[in-house]
Amino acid sequence: MSNYHIKHLEEYYQVYRKSVRNPENFWEEIAEEHFVWRKRWDKVLSWDFSKPEVKWYEGAQLNITENCIDRHLRTRGTKTAILFEPNDPSEEAEHISYQQLYARVNQFANVLKEQGIQKGDRVCIYLPMIPELAISTLACARVGAIHSVVFAGFSATALSTRINDSDCKMVITSDGSYRGPKTIDLKGIVDEALEDCSCVATVLVAKRIHTDINMKDGRDQWLQPLLDNASTECEPEIMNAEDPLFILYTSGSTGKPKGMVHTTAGYMVYTAFTFKNAFQYRENDVYWCTADIGWITGHSYIVYGPLANGATSVMFEGVPNYPDWGRFWEIVEKHKITQFYTAPTAIRALAKENLDFVEKYDLSSLKVLGSVGEPINDEAWHWYDGNIGKKKSPIIDTWWQTETGGIMISPIPYATPTKPTYATLPFPGIQPTLMDENGQEIKGNQVDGRLCIKFPWPSMARTIWGNHERYRDTYFTAYKNMYFTGDGALRDEVGYYRITGRVDDVIIVSGHNLGTAPIEDSINEHQAVAESAIVGFPHDIKGNALYGYVILKETGESRNPDNLRKEINQIITEHIGPIAKLDKIQFTSGLPKTRSGKIMRRILRKIASNDTNNLGDTSTLLNPEVVQEIMDNVL
């Protein structure tokens, strides 16, 4: 991809203009550069946002693992592909070379085949951040199975919903996981989830914490002995460009999680291209993204994007504060990290601690600092820039989504001048625009509106698993012929974008995308609860925290409110996971509603954020007395 390694701003504008003038040519040239295609495409792009249907590189055949692994063996066989840094710093880091990765992925792929997994089957992966997570993901891709990685912090209920939604035949998990000083009984969670899943025939169990666990006869098998007996050669399954590569669930504002479906060729080309340019990746760099592979950030920028470039990608099992708040910087020094990619919530948490934790370590290897997941506030931006980058490493504030598959708006380091809190300019090939509430495109600069994308890009999700109609309704009906992101944004005088946050009922807590509806649904399952409404309010570290307004049934009114609060959070933990717990729960006799019965969340949001000077337009409000009551009792 040497032609497309952008090094200065003029070059960016040149490449950008070209990508918009003739997208097909642009994406064709990139695909031609260095990938291994088993068959060339017949057509670069066909698209129709009204259906919606998007196809990239139609007619092409390939296997993504051949591009991420086999292709590098000749020149980079002994180079570290995955550098595993364990939870416990006294345990040695593991350097997995491309050659070793090849052997381990192939062994795993052969085990999948022996266990009856075939092209197109869904396999759920519920693992901590250990090498088996990356290896099993790649092994699925090797045999053409569709992986569905579920973040190992999700509860049994959340796991079973996801397994059932995509009818997974197999679950890959471990006996447990480490998280700082704690261990977590992952296998127990899987056992509980599987009580509600009849589709799963096999569970493969990796050993990590070596505890005694329950193994169900005829269903559960230890992974290692199967791997030991498997061949290290496995021919890659030849996939069509538009065959699904994976499903990854993301929260919607209503209903159950959406299984976003990503396909093979376009996803590979786009994640490879953006990885190289967004991080200015050079041979011998040591790149570290602190995300979990259970999120899209990990799929695209720990596994596929870096490996497609033959990079060294660090996988960290632990947490930022174990054994102390210096852990990230200790790792940066130890492995001489060159690109560091994390989330604003982590930056804010680290910024609260004593600077000694940073200053103890040599961070001079760093060249690029990344941020992702939510808007990065001014203070966090400057802390990151000054204390970690020493004002020498550009910060790339990368805006994108599970649905977009790859980075969409971001500075190109050393080319795009950065501006605190701005994601800046679209990547080549990306055509963002702002829309007003009447569906009109907002032209010009120094404006704000709803962020949409006007033209397809290779790594966009193609559908929601099993529900194409929902895909269309969620992303393509708000504005004609546009992909609607759900975010608001402003565009400054030079055309830089700043993402201002969600405009729908999705709340981003510590970088995790949470829908209000599923949380409200689980609260409402409490026997004493009649109705509830969740909003976000600003939080120093998490960005947003959750505030719940709960109406109790008569039976609940005599109960101890603190016990009720605990029980409500317990239910949320069981249904969704601890990340969705509420910081504040206010009991109330009613909720502000419109005449048509819709909860006026805007008002609840203002009250929870202590911003009640101007409640905005309340002309459609049916019950103003409730608003007063809520304001009087705000927590």
CA dihedral over 266, 272, 273, 278, signed as positive or negative: positive
**Residue 416 near ligand WT7 by CB under 6 A:** no
**Residue 296 near ligand WT7 by CB under 6 A:** yes
Task: Evaluate whether 374 touches 397 at the Cβ level (below 8 Å).
Answer: no
**Residue 474 near ligand WT7 by CB under 6 A:** no
- Contact positions with ligand WT7 (CB under 6 A) in 137-196: none
- 536 vs 528: CA distance, rounded Å: 23
User: Which range touches ligand WT7 (CB under 6 A), out of 17-25, 369-377, 384-392, 575-583?
Assistant: 369-377
User: Which range touches ligand WT7 (CB under 6 A), out of 52-60, 366-374, 536-544, 593-601?
Assistant: 366-374
- 7 vs 10: CA distance, rounded Å: 9
Task: Evaluate whether 376 touches 362 at the Cβ level (below 8 Å).
Answer: no
Nearest of 157, 573, 130, 159 to residue 148 by alpha carbon: 159
**Residue 505 near ligand WT7 by CB under 6 A:** no
User: Which range touches ligand WT7 (CB under 6 A), out of 21-29, 182-190, 275-283, 485-493?
Assistant: 485-493
Cβ-based nearer residue to ligand WT7, 321 or 401: 401
Contacts for 272 with CB less than 8 Å, ≥ 6 apart: 1, 35, 67, 304, 305, 308, 309
Q: How far is the CB of 267 from ligand WT7 (least distance, A)?
A: 14
Peptide bond into 417 cis (omega under 30): no
User: Which range touches ligand WT7 (CB under 6 A), out of 70-78, 178-186, 355-363, 482-490?
Assistant: 482-490
Candidates 165, 397, 504, 505: give the one binding ligand WT7 (CB under 6 A): 397
Candidates 372, 482, 523, 626: give the one binding ligand WT7 (CB under 6 A): 372
**Residue 413 near ligand WT7 by CB under 6 A:** no
Q: Concatenate the DSSP letters of all residues of 200-217 into one string.
A: --EEEEE-SS-------T
Candidates 250, 313, 418, 569: give the one binding ligand WT7 (CB under 6 A): 250
3-class secondary-structure state, position 613: coil
Task: Evaluate whether 308 touches 73 at the Cβ level (below 8 Å).
Answer: no
Cβ-based nearer residue to ligand WT7, 239 or 499: 499
Candidates 310, 326, 375, 556: give the one binding ligand WT7 (CB under 6 A): 375
- 156 vs 173: CA distance, rounded Å: 13
User: Which range touches ligand WT7 (CB under 6 A), out of 33-41, 333-341, 480-488, 587-595?
Assistant: 480-488
Q: How far is the CB of 351 from ligand WT7 (least distance, A)?
A: 17
- 146 vs 108: CA distance, rounded Å: 15
Task: Evaluate whether 200 touches 170 at the Cβ level (below 8 Å).
Answer: yes
Candidates 154, 399, 479, 483: give the one binding ligand WT7 (CB under 6 A): 399
Q: How far is the CB of 406 from ligand WT7 (least distance, A)?
A: 9
Q: How far is the CB of 513 from ligand WT7 (least distance, A)?
A: 3
**Residue 272 near ligand WT7 by CB under 6 A:** no
Peptide bond into 538 cis (omega under 30): no
Q: How far is the CB of 67 from ligand WT7 (least distance, A)?
A: 22
Q: How far is the CB of 507 from ligand WT7 (least distance, A)?
A: 10
Long-range contacts of 279-284 (CB under 8 A, 24+ apart): 279/339, 279/341, 279/368, 279/370, 279/396, 279/413, 280/5, 280/339, 280/367, 280/368, 280/412, 280/413, 280/414, 281/306, 281/309, 281/311, 281/339, 282/338, 283/310
Candidates 508, 550, 564, 576: give the one binding ligand WT7 (CB under 6 A): 508
Cβ-based nearer residue to ligand WT7, 55 or 502: 502
Residue 406, beta-bridge partner list: none
Burial of 105 (0-12, 13-18, 19+ CB in 10 A): buried
Q: How far is the CB of 379 from ligand WT7 (least distance, A)?
A: 15
**Residue 513 near ligand WT7 by CB under 6 A:** yes
Q: How far is the CB of 596 from ligand WT7 (least distance, A)?
A: 27
User: Which range touches ligand WT7 (CB under 6 A), out of 238-246, 391-399, 566-574, 605-613?
Assistant: 391-399
What does each C-alpha distance from 341 to 187, 291, 299, 379, 398 come to in angstroms? Answer: 30, 8, 14, 18, 10
**Residue 374 near ligand WT7 by CB under 6 A:** yes
DSSP letter at 180 equals: T
Alpha-carbon torsion, ordered 384, 386, 391, 397, to 10 deg: 20
Cβ-based nearer residue to ligand WT7, 274 or 532: 274
Contacts for 107 with CB less than 8 Å, ≥ 6 apart: 227, 230, 231, 232, 234
User: Which range touches ligand WT7 (CB under 6 A), out of 6-14, 48-56, 212-220, 484-492?
Assistant: 484-492
Cβ-based nearer residue to ligand WT7, 113 or 382: 382
The tokens for 410 are 């971001």
Candidates 66, 165, 487, 505: give the one binding ligand WT7 (CB under 6 A): 487
**Residue 580 near ligand WT7 by CB under 6 A:** no
Candidates 108, 178, 400, 587: give the one binding ligand WT7 (CB under 6 A): 400
**Residue 301 near ligand WT7 by CB under 6 A:** no
Nearest of 95, 112, 104 to residue 135 by alpha carbon: 104
Total of chain residues touching ligand WT7, rule CB under 6 A = 22
HSE at residue 585, side-chain half, CA atoms within 13 A, is 23
Candidates 402, 510, 516, 544: give the one binding ligand WT7 (CB under 6 A): 402
**Residue 486 near ligand WT7 by CB under 6 A:** yes
The tokens for 182 are 């704690």
Q: What residue ranges bind ligand WT7 (CB under 6 A)?
A: 250, 296-297, 371-375, 397-402, 423, 485-487, 499, 502, 508, 513
